[in-house]
Amino acid sequence: MHCAFRVASLACSIILLPLAAHSASQPARFSGSAALSYTAKAVSFGERPSGSDAIVKLRAWIVAQLKPLGPTVVLDSFTGHTPAGLVPMANIIAKFPGSSGKAIAVTGHYDTKRIPMVHFVGANDAGSSTGFLLELAHVLARQKHTDDIYLVWFDGEEAVRAEWSEADSRYGSRHLADKWMADGTLSKLKALINIDMVGDKNLDIAPDLNSSQSLRDLIWRTAESLGYGKYFPSQGGAIDDDHMPFIASGANAVDIIDLDYGPQNSYWHTAQDTMDKLSAHSFQVVGDVIVQVLAKLQAQ
């Protein structure tokens, strides 16, 4: 992603938790510890740039986790036309059915940036969105839905070259926005919530000024009502992320991202983006807010 601001934060250490088991008899509550564990598993695949063997293995693992939960799982395969040549890519889409004829999408990316001479495992970027969406899938599997809920893991969010550009970035979201525009899915989409870099233990989700004002207001009000207002400050900037192709297509979309990652943002796109910088509590905060927001959107 590309943004118009940078701020500073501190970090300390965590203890990784084992993958949490879910029971159908439990309340449909988001587990931050489970999201952290799914993130750790994703990170264990190593560097995961688009087209790599590692992302193919990660993709297969994500699909294997989803299938027992009951959604319709679709691999949206396409070819990314990148500055480095043609790259095979695939978005993963899990569809939980509703009855209204409307839909809500929660999205994030699962590829990591290829950075020469740097062992970049991307715990927060994009391990956190990968793990967050998997835990959200467990929550959705234990609920009934008014609207269809789509969970989407985007491939190809990262630029292939060092500098982010309109043509070299967001390959998966640009592809899917065009596809959904053509097949009519976009017309029934009530909202799209993009999740990116939400694991930082010093959580600080500033508002993205490119996002839908109504969705921003709903999310920030919900966070305040849950006692999480301090993690959602009021001052932000304009961010270019996987929500933007949908904004450009007229969709109601919002980006939830913490770009305050390490002192002077020093962990972002560096070898320091590792699991010890993340916390279950941060996943819990964002998960609780998004589950509540999905309920409110379906009641509209």
pLDDT at 299: 96
Q: 């939960």: which residue's tokens?
A: 69
Q: Which residues are 87's β-sheet partners? A: 80
What number does CATH give the domain 2-298? 3.40.630.10
Is the pLDDT score of 7 beyond 60? Answer: no
Q: 């959602």: which residue's tokens?
A: 232
pLDDT tens digits for range 200-256 = 999 999 999 999 999 999 999 999 999 999 999 999 999 999 999 999 999 999 999
55-82 mean pLDDT = 98
Is the pLDDT score of 6 beyond 60? Answer: no
pLDDT tens digits for range 141-168 = 999 999 999 999 999 999 998 889 999 9
Closest C-alpha among 108, 126, 114 to residue 261: 126
pLDDT tens digits for range 236-249 = 999 999 999 999 99
Dihedral angle computed from the Cα positions of residues 103, 58, 86 and 151, in that order, rounded to the nearest 10 degrees = 0
pLDDT at 86: 98
What whole-number distance in Å separates Cα of residue 121 and Cα of residue 113? 9
Is residue 23 very low, low, confident or very high in pLDDT (cuts 50, 70, 90)?
very low
What whole-number distance in Å separates Cα of residue 264 and Cα of residue 11? 12
pLDDT at 285: 98
pLDDT at 1: 64
pTM: 0.92
Backbone angles phi, psi at 213, to 5 degrees: -65, -40
Q: What are the helix (H) ranges across the chain? A: 32-43, 53-66, 128-141, 171-183, 213-225, 244-248, 280-298
Pairwise pLDDT comparison (92 vs 8), residue with the higher score? 92
Q: 């190809």: which residue's tokens?
A: 156
**Cβ partners under 8 Å of residue 73, min gap 6:** 63, 66, 67, 92, 93, 94, 95
**Cβ partners under 8 Å of residue 13, min gap 6:** 276
The token pair at 167 is: 């043509």
* Radius of gyration in angstroms for the set of CA atoms belonging to the chain, rounded to a whole number: 17
Neighbours of 64 (CB within 10 A): 10
Is the pLDDT score of 43 beyond 70? Answer: yes
User: To the nearest whole percent, how much of the chain has pLDDT over 70?
Assistant: 91
- DSSP SS3 for 51: coil
Domain spans in the chain, listed from the N-terminal domain onward: 2-298
CB of 189 within 8 A of CB of 142?
no
Is the pLDDT score of 260 beyond 70? Answer: yes
Helices (H) and strands (E) in the chain, counts: 7, 8
